[in-house]
Amino acid sequence: MTINQPSQTGTNLLQTALAKPYHYRRSGRYYLRLRPQGTAKGFFTLSLRTTDKATAMTISQDILSTLKAYHLDNPEASWDELRERLLDIAEYSLTMAHGDSSLVAYEMINDEHHQALREASAKLPLSVNQQRAVSKALEIIEASQERMKGRSGNLVEIVKGLKDEHCSTSVALSPSLSVSSSERLTFKALSALYMEERKDSIQASTMRDVRSSCEAIATILGDLDLKAHTREDMKNLRDKLLEDRKPSTVKKLLTRLSTVMDWAVHNGYLDKSFDKGLKPTKGADSSREAFSQDQVKALMAHAKTLPVDAWLRWALSLGVIAGTRIEELRQLTKADVKQVGDVWVIDINRNDGKTAKTKNALRVIPLTDGAYGFDLKAFLEFVQRADSRLFALGAGRFSELLNGLIRDVLGVKADRTQTFHSLRHSLAGALKAAEIPVGTAESILGHASGSISYDLYGAGSAVEVGRMAEALKTAFL
């Protein structure tokens, strides 16, 4: 990162609001530029170290969040405000998951942040609180680098120290979300606190599931004071849930319970929780069933009878040969069908307002010409005729028609045992039967901790995509 300081004006990035960030591409790589409002001088320029736009935007958002977290545009920030932001950064650095590519990316980003903060501390007229925050931020960055090498002890201590300081400081909470030591704490109130804190970091579709799960748990726990709950209370909850739900559903609900309870303990709302080891094991496997190979072939045989300009033909075909989630499929655009090396792929990304279940879901999936009779040439012609999005329907109608077609073709029940999502299970089974390495299968399905690659058009990406393409060809034999 380079800091270009303005001459004469005395303006600096730590004492003025930032203008809208500007992204640009040079020699194939993406860069982020930040400048103070009201001037063309005094800007940060940061290489995002990638030629993939989706990856660049993700990293850019992390950087912008970090700059805001340090209050670089607010010299009047109090130490308590700065400390709270530093704690957020430290906790995120401690708990975020990394793949091989993101380890490399964040190591470089941390290095550049460290250099920029040192320069700011040495050269710019910072307030006492800002200097104190910069000093602590440097410690966090150094500890974050150690954590990415498997040594998290220093970062744990920093988080603990910032939290202990918080406990010794009187900080007023919003009246609607405050919890005093003498008040009862129900699961309804606790889950509301959890959802309020996580609302900006959880996808809207996931938040709906979180809210639904928490409401189901809160209905049973009622007015129980979790500050005094017992193991027996948690066992009773499990038994009540099992009365009218499948074990697989109860397992998911108890997973959500543990997430909220762990968060409550870590954030000082509860001293302890007794929710571990409750999940049912018998019958707890997912109730979703894969389609048999005969069923998959029947679906593709029907797809080939549909007109080449029918969206249902290609939606069903891509579900079979790519194993996408239904919302990943619905959001595909014309630009998402591309070539990497000699391989045609679909690109699952968050460009243009699209959403993805997790960061690990961001990936490319090779298209296998001839798989179950899939006609790649005809599909590319369909893509060429599309305006922007390949499928114009909203989420509800898209799912309704696609799942309805599957039920009509196969005669399966509308009980959610076999749905469009079952095609992912079928592809996973085919990859396993073909003895495809787990890492390659995960990259295709979007389960990998570091799916392909941070640099989609880099020197090694065509090799990686080629390996995935060969794996799919083997699975479809």
Mean pLDDT value across residues 101-125: 68
Give percent above pLDDT 70 in the chain.
70
Average pLDDT of the chain to the nearest whole number: 78
Mean pLDDT value across residues 250-269: 89
Give the residue with greater pLDDT, 79 vs 237.
237
For residue 102, what pLDDT is reported? Answer: 61
Give the residue with greater pLDDT, 205 vs 191.
191
For residue 136, what pLDDT is reported? Answer: 87
Mean pLDDT value across residues 324-348: 92
For residue 231, what pLDDT is reported? Answer: 92
For residue 423, what pLDDT is reported? Answer: 92
For residue 402, what pLDDT is reported? Answer: 92
Instruction: Of 28-32, 235-239, 244-248, 334-338, give the lowest mean pLDDT range.
Output: 28-32
pTM of the entire predicted model = 0.47
pLDDT tens track for 378-406? 999 999 999 889 998 888 888 889 989 99
Unique residue bearing structure tokens 């050269």 = 123
Q: Which of 17, 170, 13, 156 is nearest to 87 (CA)?
A: 156
For residue 332, what pLDDT is reported? Answer: 94
List of residues 6+ apart from 301 with CB closer than 8 A: 373
Calpha distance 233→272 (Å, rounded): 14
Cα dihedral across residues 312, 314, 315, 317: positive or negative: positive
Domains of the chain (ranges, CATH numbers): 2-167 (no CATH), 187-266 (1.10.150), 293-476 (1.10.443)
SS3 state at 170: coil
Whether 249 shows a pLDDT value over 60: the answer reads yes
Instruction: Of 68-72, 157-161, 256-260, 350-354, give the lowest mean pLDDT range.
Output: 68-72
Residue 204 DSSP one-character state: H
SS3 state at 166: helix
HSE-CB of 403 using CA atoms within 13 angstroms: 19
H helices, E strands: number in the chain: 17, 7
Confidence tier at 124 by pLDDT (50, 70, 90): low
Mean pLDDT value across residues 182-195: 87
Calpha distance 273→230 (Å, rounded): 8
pLDDT tens track for 17-55? 555 555 666 666 666 665 555 555 445 555 555 666 665
Q: Which residues are bridge partners to 184 per DSSP?
A: none
